[in-house]
Chain A
């Protein structure tokens, strides 16, 4: 603890020094309805008000939220945006991997300085989780399934108790306000990932994400593409039709809303390159394979589905 109240805590000072730019403050929006509007206007995200309300309800109770759903459904983006709106600060992003551990998220010691000055506050480098706690910002833990169970448990303990213990410094950092919240994202269909333990699932508020309904998806695409060259409703319908067919097909990597947006944007780019003022069906068709087929074995499926939608034979490569 700080011995002298007048003097700034060195760790806090470091956090501010390092992370102030990352976690820029903004006005928090904690009313779900207002948040839905802000999400659409500023973040170009279309989110169901019920999901916002439930996420906020979990935040109010200090519960971590787990966004679970297929890729490309906007989990990460929505999680980030909601954390930002709730905390009034940009959240920290923790992209998980197998060997992620507490040193990488709470803090570690600069080897050189530690050698010189010992393992103390001077040699301690705060990492995002601690920074978020101190700055009262949110944390988005992306793809939690990729992390190991120890890491998950450590995170849950932090979130549960809203404090971080750094034994080396003999210090306990407590959350400063309601802004420190955690959102996990996960894709249960993603192969080669760890299963989440029952204990973990019991302690989070799990919000399932699915592909949005067609009209919502159209709105999202419109929101996220350029104004010009124009994408008419015919082209839009073909895109949506193909996407929905692909999702039902045996594709390994099923296209999400993100892919649909990418496809539309790619078609626009092609149209622009070809000097058109509006997107032609040819542009949409040409963009399909490059955007939608992520693996070689997917190509055939993609080209047959898209061809079927466009009423032409499978693409010849």
Chain B
């Protein structure tokens, strides 16, 4: 049964009287007064501010001297009046609200909306709120840049429409449909209406334009919030246009070395925009590896002045110079660099030959190396540019020649090769070793396998990777008493002489290595992880389009042999690989992949989520250029994803997951 507010009912008694008179009933003003008074008393007596419909008819019929057959008429009038009175009041309120908001923006019905003008100035926050409200309500309309306030009549219509939907204010109406578009979110964020809540939901592209807007307007608070969010995304490995993001981060003062490193790593061209000196670039390039590092160095040298370029060369492995085309050096220095570039390029081609076996590359390598030696010999040995001198260039070029020779003859002079490899560093050495492994046979292969294993252990030692299982000593239990050191300490009268030794054991893992074509650049990762943690690997799954499962336990040489023979090629089916990796035994899976599933159907995230639900611990180690969407989804279902930039970082992540 409908209810009526007594006060509202009393308010509309005059209109009711009029309506009843129009219908031919004699209703006097005195009666209406009586009716009002009795209505009021009635509500006091029943102790309610509202009365039901039948009470309305009882009270009004009794005071207005209506006959029973006129009752329905009365009730209809009351109903109509109540509804329209409420509607009118609401429409009026909404109309006032619209006018108020228009006033805030300094707009009149029919005005053109110049956003720049309307949204700037003092009380900006209020203005933006008003603008958003009006646009959402349809009072401001039109395509962006040509928005207008609708006319007077239209505003009335809008007010009535909103009121007729039962709302008492625009705010209430809009709250029920809070579908803010991205543009609105941006504007809200810009106006600081809800910065924290909105920024996270914005696409990076939007964040960038928001950041730019913040810079333009000198809004430091917003800028900081945007920069913070962008910085977080960069560190998470999301690809963000460096040229755009750098000025924002810089202006907000939140551009860190970590950001620079990642940004430059993803786009060497950024070297132009970043304030990084030659030394930092040298460092970053070394971390990036040969291919990308070389590109970075080449780009840096193209734009740097001689002083900065010298600092770069000073801290650089000369083999990274392979891609250089232009540089700021002149005279002898220029000649040195040109020669070094030729030598490095020769080495590059030699290693490509090791990898691909293309004879053209061998010829190119030999040619470049020989020309480099020729050029270097023409330069006075007294001159140098950082590590570059005629002798260092010669040695670089001869390394290239040695590699080509070793590959072409199948081993060649082993001693010579060993010293050559030592100069190359682990990544490129592995490349050579893999090339050799493909070309030699029989016993020589075993030599290469052992060389590979020892190379990797040397690498681990140099990088400070303390492998497992290992012993650990401490001055407190648990553990077995380390007698020798305790006696030694007793002799030194140490206050705490007892030394304990315990064996740090480690977990076993099921390792899934992505050996598809896209992981070729990171082949070193696979080799490093597999060989270094061979004793911890219970099951090895090598996968591209199809998984190949090897059951452990393994020795380092076994795994080195396996990995040296693997060809990085083909499509990727991570989903089935994960399924294969989750066999019996350990519940800890380490996946090394760029997460780019290229075989349909198959969603690695589905499998990952199933595994996590079944109690598996899934760690994915991914290179910087990974598929970030898959990564985010993987994280959402409970897998741990870590971005590694170098084989060392990749190995560290595995080690961390192995520790108890």
A208 and B62 alpha carbons, distance in the complex (Å): 8
CB of A198 closer than 8 Å to a CB of B: yes
B30, A54: Cβ atoms closer than 8 Å: no
Contact A202 B30 (CB under 8 A): yes
With a 10 A CB-CB cut-off, give which of A49, A57, A198 has the most chain B CB atoms. Answer: A57
Chain A 23-59, CB-CB to B under 8 Å as 1, else 0, gives 0000000011000000000000000011101101110
A316 within 8 A of B: no
Q: Does B37 contact A (CB under 8 A)?
A: yes
Residues of chain A with a CB closer than 8 A to B28's CB: 202
Determine whether the beta carbon of A50 is less than 8 Å from that of B34.
no
The CA-CA distance from A57 to B62 in the complex, in Å, is 11
**Residue from A32, A53, A60, A206 in contact with B65 in the complex, judged by beta carbons closer than 8 Å:** A206
Are B42 and A63 in touch, CB under 8 angstroms? no
Tell me whether B68 is interfacial, beta carbon within 8 Å.
Answer: yes
For the complex formed, measure the closest distance between the CB of A213 and the CB atoms of chain B, giving whole angstroms. 13
A53 to B38, CA, bound (A): 10
* A50 in contact with B45 (CB, 8 Å): no
Separation of A49 and B30 alpha carbons in the complex (Å)? 26
CA distance A201 to B64 in the complex (A): 9
For B31, the chain A residues whose CB sits under 8 A away are 202
Assess A205 versus B63: contact at CB under 8 Å? Given A32-B46, A61-B41, A198-B26. Answer: yes
B26 and A205: CB pair below 8 A?
Answer: no
Answer yes or no: A223 CB below 8 A from chain B CBs: no
From DSSP, what is the main secondary structure of chain B's interface residues?
A: helix
| Chain B residues touching A, range | 20 to 34
Flag whether B54 is at the interface (Cβ < 8 A).
Answer: yes
Cβ–Cβ < 8 Å partners of B68 in chain A = 208
Residues of A within 8 A of B193 (CB): none
Q: In the complex the two chains form, is B34's CB within 8 Å of A206's CB?
A: no
Q: B45–A56 contact, CB under 8 A?
A: yes
Chain B residues lying within 8 Å of A51, measured Cβ to Cβ, are: 58
Given the known interface contacts A32-B45, A61-B41, the answer about A54 and B58 at a Cβ–Cβ threshold of 8 Å is: yes
Neighbouring B residues of A56 by C-beta, 8 Å: 41, 45
Residue of A nearest to B46 (CB): A53
Report the minimum CB–CB distance from B111 to chain A (whole Å).
54
Q: Does B55 contact A (CB under 8 A)?
A: yes
Contact with A along B267-295 (1 / 0, CB 8 A): 00000000000000000000000000000
Cβ A205 vs Cβ B30 within 8 A: no
Specify the main secondary structure of chain A where it touches its partner. helix
Please tell me if A262 contacts chain B, counting CB pairs below 8 Å. Answer: no
Interface presence of A18 (CB below 8 A): no
Task: Decide: A57 and B38 in contact? CB cutoff 8 A.
Answer: yes
- The digit string for A82-116, where 1 denotes a CB below 8 A from any CB of B, is 00000000000000000000000000000000000
Does B59 interact with chain A (Cβ within 8 Å)?
yes
Chain B contacts for A63, CB-based, 8 A: 34, 38, 63
Q: In whole angstroms, how far apart are the Cα atoms of A31 and B44 in the complex?
A: 10
Question: Within the assembled complex, what's the spacing in Å between the Cα atoms of A50 and B53?
Answer: 12
The chain B residue with its CB closest to the CB of A56 is B45
CB <8 Å contact, A61 and B58: no
B37 to A50, Cβ gap below 8 A? Answer: no
With most chain B CB atoms within 10 A of its CB, the pick from A53, A60, A202 is A53
Which A194-235 residues sit within 8 Å CB-CB of chain B?
Answer: 198, 201-202, 205-208
Among A31, A57, A198, A202, contact of B42 (Cβ-Cβ < 8 Å): A57
B536 to chain A, nearest CB (A): 83
B-contact bits for A173-212, CB 8 A (1 contact / 0 none):
0000000000000000000000000100110011110000
The answer to whether B34 and A54 touch across the interface, beta carbons within 8 angstroms, is no
- Contact present for A61 and B65 (CB under 8 Å): no
The residue on B at minimum CB distance from A188 is B67
CA A32 to CA B41, docked complex, whole Å:
12
What is the CA–CA distance of A201 and B54 in the complex, to the nearest angstrom?
21
Given known contacts A54-B62, A205-B62, A61 and B46 CB-to-CB distance under 8 angstroms: no
Asked if A198 and B46 make an inter-chain contact with CB atoms under 8 angstroms apart, the answer reads no
Q: Beyond A57-B44, A60-B44, A198-B65: 10 further Cβ-contacts under 8 Å?
A: A50-B46, A50-B58, A57-B41, A57-B59, A205-B34, A206-B62, A206-B63, A206-B65, A207-B62, A208-B68
**Can you spell out 30 A-B residue pairs with CB atoms less than 8 angstroms apart?**
A31-B45, A49-B46, A50-B46, A53-B42, A54-B38, A54-B58, A54-B59, A57-B38, A57-B41, A57-B42, A57-B44, A57-B59, A58-B41, A58-B62, A60-B41, A61-B38, A61-B41, A63-B34, A63-B63, A198-B26, A202-B28, A202-B30, A202-B31, A205-B38, A205-B62, A206-B61, A206-B62, A206-B63, A208-B61, A208-B68
Shortest 7 CB-CB contacts between residues of A and residues of B: A57-B41, A57-B42, A60-B41, A201-B65, A61-B37, A57-B38, A53-B45
